[in-house]
Amino acid sequence: MSTEPSAERGPWSLALRRFLRNRLAVASLGVFLAIIVFVLAAPLWADHVAHTGPNKEHTVEQITVDGEQKDVVTPEGKPIGPQWFGAGGKFFLGADSRLGRDEMVRLMYGGRTSLLVGITAALLATILAIVLGLLAGYFRGWVDSLIARSLDVIWSLPVFLIGLAVGIALAVGGLDLGFIEVSGGSLWIPIMIISIFTVPYIARPIRGEVLSFSEKEFVEAAIAQGASPGRVMFTEILPNLASTVIVFFTLMIANSMLFEAGLSFLGAGVQPPNSSWGTMITVGVELLRIQPLLAILPGTMIMLTVLSLNIVGDALRDALDPRGKARMDAALQFEAQAGAGGGATI
Amino acid sequence: MKKLGALIAVLVLAAVAAVGLASCGGGSDSTSGGGGGGQKGGTLVGTYASFPDYLDPALSYTAEGWTAMADVYIPLLTYKHANGVEGSEVVPGLAKEMPKISNGGKTYTLFLRPGLKYSDGTPIKASDFPFAVERMIKLNSGGSPFYLTIEGAEKFAETKKGPIPGIKANDKTGEIVINLEGPRGTFTNELGLMFVAPLPQDTPIEDLSADPPPASGPYMITKSQPGKEWEYERNPYWAKANGKAMPEYPEGNVDSAKMTVIRNPETQVDDIEQGTYQWMQNPPPASRYQEVKEKYEGTQFRTEPTISTYYFWMNTQEPPFDDVKVRQAVNYAIDAKALERIYAGQIAATQQILPPGMPGYEKFELYPHSLDKAEELMKEANPSDKDITVWTDTESPNNEAGEYFNEVLKELGFNTTLKLINADNYFTVIGNLSTPDLDAGWSDWFQDYPHPNDFFQPLLAGESIQSTNNNNFAQYDNPALNKPLVELAEEQLSSEQEEGYAKLDKETMEEAPWAPYGTRTLSTFVSDEVDLESVIFNPTFGHYLTSFEFK
């Protein structure tokens, strides 16, 4: 009676089944979703448990812990350690620095910032990479040469160092191009830096895939029917890139979050007093000897998020396209050959 | 043979002991830092948390710069190589003796010591002094306002042309005559500042931080990589010429020194503990301060009280801080007790321009911390422009003080943007009036000389507002301050004048161009190889390189 499942189910349903069979990936997705819930709950925790905001300072205040009055910051400048629920949830993880801000609240809000920067930068990089990859792979010739070589140039740069220099310069002066104005402390600065410098990591494999797809029969058929280049690119080729894009997007979120953490740690990313997990590590490092948790906690959150996203990304690749690895290798090889041939025609 | 061998051994031991004793006797008697039981020679490896603003004597106006160059460029007069109050005494530098003041306090006559040479062998001439003054003014140095009372200096500052007629120098006799427009009680102190240290007349009129000019002091800077490191060696002409001409000036103990910028003060402390570096110019970070103090006080660590004011400035020329009520509100909102904790007990709360220890200081408390009062004043002022930028540097805990200030302003209803600038060039950035959005920020001031004028004229007098190297960050220009300031500066310091400055302190704080919050305690922290007792911390120049001595 039973029929072959693959005959009834669509490719997305099959992919989901394959993904769900990967227990590590499911657990990682659970971890990632838990992190999302954790950071989304920030206002609830801040308003109803900690009764403070992420940037609110309590330097000279005292709290009652199990009936005992304690300084949030001692006169010698030592911030209070984790109080768990001893003070009704206030300073659950202690104070972040001599400014006496609630570490738990900052960790939650900092996670929002880190994820926001990571996801937005990955999204922008992916969109840009799709457009560039489609144009380069479809039109080939000088368009391909121009785009491919530009990507090569970005790829050959010491991306992090340049990102750091640009980040510091823009953090001071902001960005004013006439048509676009971004203030120095804006989150758009790290987002733009990360997205621009990470485009080649997605655009190159997409270009390879497009080069490969553009020789397929369904594309030739569409062209023969008089479809415009835009239509061919966006309605024929782009849907076939979905699995590649989804996989890379997931991995790029993790990459972007690491990039942001690095930039923020060095003062070129998210600007104080806003918190991100990167800036929290910077603050925590100074107090590493007396309150090591202040650096360890945001570091652990970054590690958990990046690790879970990487595992999910890998599992998605396996699930969406079991032959993806072989095809991806072929695409990269194809692209390498195209590159060797001056990026013109194959 | 056995007896001969024993005799030789005794002679060798005696010779070694004699050499050892001779080396222990080095150093000048003029130092008041104690010690003197150490050895000469060696290389001092030190560290700064930030590179000095400039390694050019005409331009530098930070503690880092003055400490770095104190024993490299000697002015006509200088400050005694001593700790504490004794170190505030002005003594002859390149000049033979203290100036003869005549013409009702308007004419200063000095004589250059004969036979002096720069580290490149060029003879030091009397005419190098007017050259140094002109070079400093041409470079728009932050120190210029001190010398604009010299006849014709103000016009020179405008035109940047021609010699300054108020300075006459005779290279043959070494005589230098300085005529002032009016008497100036602080001028002797100001002649002891590095801004006007003589330099060879072929010195380029540009910032020479990367290639500092020839030295007149016992050490010369041989290599400089701005932002990174610089090195010293003994000035070869010190032993041959200058040291003989000015025997009371210490010749120094170490043969060379290398200073490296390590931006993480935690690492600096670790390096000192491990002996990788032998001295750190800045104090240990707030997070390690108590630990270092408890562990090393008396052996490798010493606190150094200073005459200083830490404050937040507000731009009085632009909204919203052009309204005195807004500035007063900020003063009420600042809680100096919170800042004491942020500085881990390294500052003592104060709310005045003049710090304790400065003549004219009389304690008052105009703005006891009250958020209610602050909000009330804000309501009355109701400023229309609430978008402001807050500036601070990246060095801890000044960065946290800036964050604290930013949050206070937010609580008062402002929309703030916090800008953190690298400590190397923070003052250059906020001292440049073309920098946009100079609304409010953090700053500090350590005494240049023990006279209250030093806390008013460069920082709050209208004439001190300049396009670059500006120190009047509040851009405060109030005739009610400018006029009495000129009058008070005309006379030598007396109890009557001290009262005048105390009054000025209170009147200025009623106008609240600043929100002062504390006076700082600095420190000396050295590795166990260095003799702590010998190290001098001068109230004007900080740690003297000549005072470092290995045990």
Confidence of residue A336 (pLDDT cuts 50, 70, 90): low
d(CA B338, CA B344): 10
pLDDT in tens, B201-239: 999 999 999 999 999 999 999 999 999 999 999 999 999
Q: Is A130 helix (H, G, I), strand (E, B) or coil?
A: helix
Q: What is the DSSP letter of A237?
A: I
What integer best gives the mean pLDDT of chain B? Answer: 92
Q: Which of residues 72-111 of B touch A (CB under 8 A)?
A: none
pLDDT (tens digit per residue) in B382-437: 999 999 999 999 898 999 999 999 999 999 999 999 999 988 889 999 999 999 99
For residue B98, which of B75, B118, B82, B119 has the smallest C-alpha distance? Answer: B75
Exposed (0-12), middle (13-18) or buried (19+): which is B11, by Cβ within 10 Å? exposed
Furthest C-alpha separation in chain B: 102
Q: Is B396 on the interface with A (CB under 8 A)?
A: yes
Judged against a pLDDT cut of 70, whether residue B21 lies above it is answered with no
By percentage, how much of chain A surpasses pLDDT 90?
Answer: 69
Average pLDDT (B108-118) is 98
Residue found under tokens 């991306």? A159
> Which candidate in B400, B405, B429, B437 is best for mutational testing of the A interface (most A CBs within 10 A)?
B400
Residue B100 β-bridge partners: B109
> Which tens digit of pLDDT belongs to each residue from A260-316?
999 988 888 898 999 999 999 989 988 888 899 999 999 999 999 999 999 999 999
Question: For position A324, what pLDDT does the model report?
Answer: 59
A286 with B417: Cβ contact below 8 A: no
| B287 contact residues in A (CB cutoff 8 A) | 77, 286-287, 289-290
Nearest to A172 among B335, B343, B419 (CB): B419
Nearest CA in chain A to B435: A173
Give yes or no for residue B540 having a pLDDT over 50: yes
* pLDDT given for residue A345 in this prediction: 28
Indicate the pLDDT class of residue B33, thresholds 50, 70 and 90. Answer: very low
Residues 216-275 of chain B with CB under 8 A from chain A are 266
Report the alpha-carbon distance of residue A209 to residue B329 in Å, rounded.
63
Q: Name the percent of chain B lying above pLDDT 70.
A: 93
- Which helix or strand (DSSP H or E) is residue B167 part of? strand B167-170
The span from the CA of A101 to the CA of A284, in Å, is: 12
The two structure tokens encoding residue B474: 């509040």
Does residue B2 register a pLDDT over 90? no
The answer on pLDDT for B25 being more than 60 is: no
CB-based contact, B368 to chain A, within 8 Å: no
B287, B290, B341 member nearest A59 (Cβ): B341
Amino acid identity for residue B430 in this structure: I
pLDDT at site A179: 80
Across the interface, whether the CB atoms of A272 and B410 are under 8 A apart is answered no
pLDDT greater at residue B352 or residue A184: B352
A168-A169-A172-A174 Cα dihedral, nearest 10 degrees: -120
Bridge partner residues of B520 (DSSP): B347
Cβ separation of A77 and B345 shorter than 8 Å? Answer: yes
Average pLDDT of the residues of chain A: 88
Burial A178-206 (b: 16+ CB within 10 A, else e): eeeebbbbbbbbbbbbbbbbbbbbbbbbb
Q: Which residue from A14, A113, A5 is spatially nearest to A54, judged by alpha carbons?
A: A113
DSSP for B181-217, written as a single string: SS--TTHHHHHTSGGG----TT--SS--TTSPPPP-S
CB A117 within 8 A of CB A187: yes
A-chain residue closest to B391, CA distance: A172
B290–A contact, CB cutoff 8 A: yes
Interchain CB distance below 8 Å, A272 and B421: no
Measure in Å the smallest separation between the Cα of B266 and chain A Cα atoms: 7
Spell out where B210-320 has E strands: 219-225, 229-234, 256-261, 279-280, 301-305, 308-314
**Helices A324-340, A188-213: crossing angle, 10 deg rounding:** 90
Q: For residue B457, what are the CA distances in angstroms to A183, B8, B480?
A: 35, 69, 13
Name, in order, each residue with C-beta under 8 angstroms of A278's C-beta and a sequence gap of 6 or more: A114, A260, A261, A262, A263, A264, A265, A269, A270, A298, A302
**Touching A: B residues 411-430, CB under 8 Å:** 417-422, 429
- Residue A342 binned pLDDT confidence (cut-offs 50, 70, 90): very low
Give chain A's contact residues with B (Cβ, < 8 Å): 55-57, 59-60, 73-78, 97-100, 168, 171-172, 183-185, 267, 271-273, 285-290
Q: How far is B408 from chain A (nearest CA, A)?
A: 9
Q: Does residue B111 surpass a pLDDT of 50?
A: yes
Contacts of B341 in chain A (CB under 8 A): 59-60, 73-75, 77, 98, 100
pLDDT in tens, B468-513: 999 999 999 999 999 999 899 888 889 999 999 999 999 999 999 9
Degrees (nearest 5) of the Cα angle A274, A277, A278? 90
CB contact under 8 A, A272 and B394: no
* pLDDT (0 to 100) of residue A266: 83
Selecting from A56, A76, A183 the residue whose C-beta is nearest the C-beta of B345 gives A76
* Interchain contact, B397 vs A98, CB within 8 Å: yes
* Interface predicted TM-score of the whole assembly (ipTM), two decimals: 0.84
Would you call B400 and A98 a contact, using CB atoms and an 8 Å cutoff? Answer: yes
- Give the model's pLDDT for residue A159: 83
**What is the per-residue pLDDT across A174-228, written as a single tens digit (0 to 9) for each?**
888 878 888 877 899 899 999 999 999 999 999 999 999 998 999 999 999 999 9
> A-chain residues within 8 Å CB-CB of B343?
77
Q: How far is it, in rounded angstroms, from Cα A219 to Cα A224? A: 9
Q: From chain A, pick out residues whose CB is under 8 angstroms from the CB of B335.
A: 59-60
Q: How many CA atoms, within 13 angstroms, populate the side-chain half-sphere of residue A281?
A: 22
With a CB cutoff of 8 Å and minimum separation 6, the contacts of A201 are A125, A129, A248, A252, A255
| Count of pairs with CB atoms under 8 A, one residue in A, one in B | 86
Q: Residues 6 or more apart from B38 whose CB is under 8 A from it?
A: B24, B253, B531, B534, B549, B550, B551
Nearest to A99 among B266, B290, B403 (CB): B403
Q: Contact, A89 vs A101, CB < 8 A?
A: no
Provide the token pair at A7: 């005959």
Average pLDDT over residues A146-158: 91
At A161 the pLDDT is 87
* Mean pLDDT, residues B117-132 taken together: 98
Q: How many angstroms away from the CA of B432 is the closest CA of chain A? A: 14
Q: Do B345 and A75 touch (CB under 8 A)?
A: yes
Residues 6+ apart with CB under 8 A from A156: none
pLDDT, residue A323, reads 66
C-alpha atoms less than 13 angstroms from C-alpha of B384 in its C-beta half-sphere: 1
Cβ of residue B437 closer than 8 Å to a chain A Cβ = no
| CB nearest to B418's CB, from A78, A271, A285 | A271
Q: Is residue A9's pLDDT more than 80? A: no
In the predicted structure, residue B11 carries a pLDDT above the cut 60: no
**By C-alpha distance, which of B139, B217, B266, B224 is closest to B525?**
B266
Residue A276 contacts by C-beta under 8 Å, 6 or more apart in sequence? A110, A113, A114, A117, A260, A261, A264, A269, A270
Whether residue B1 has pLDDT greater than 90: no
What is the nearest CA distance from A241 to chain B, expressed in angstroms?
A: 42
Query: Inter-chain contact B407–A55, Cβ cutoff 8 Å?
Result: yes
